Amino acid sequence: MNEKIYKLRLELLKWEKDNKINKLSEKSKIIYSYLLAKSENLPISIKEIKKNALIKESMSTATFNRSINELIANFFVNLESDPKDRRRLIITKIKSNH
């Protein structure tokens, strides 16, 4: 069991390095991973991202906002106003190496 966990950790670290997210905070990595999994559903609203159970349980609103800002600052995502409702923000593009 311990060896399996170790191998999973190595694979995760390799994946993070390959996708150049190894320098991001852990919370930003969680959000980025979620966005990659949902990339077929773009654009995706910030509100929808916040509803995810893992994201909701693992970070406060302030941490979530800092993580989104970190992803934007490092050009991993593009954030825009929703054309249907200017008060709502949406992720329109996700940087992916694949």
Residue identified by tokens 């800092």 is: 66
DSSP letter at 39? G
Q: Is residue 38 part of a domain?
A: yes
What is residue 97's predicted lDDT score, i.e. its pLDDT?
66
What is the domain extent for residue 71?
Answer: 24-94
**Tell me, what CATH number does 48's domain have?**
1.10.10.10
Q: Is residue 60 part of a domain?
A: yes
Q: Express each pLDDT in 68-87 by its tens digit.
A: 999 999 999 999 998 888 88
pTM: 0.87
Q: Express each pLDDT in 41-76 by its tens digit.
A: 889 999 999 999 999 999 999 999 999 999 999 999
Q: Is residue 52 part of a domain?
A: yes
The domain tally of the chain equals 1
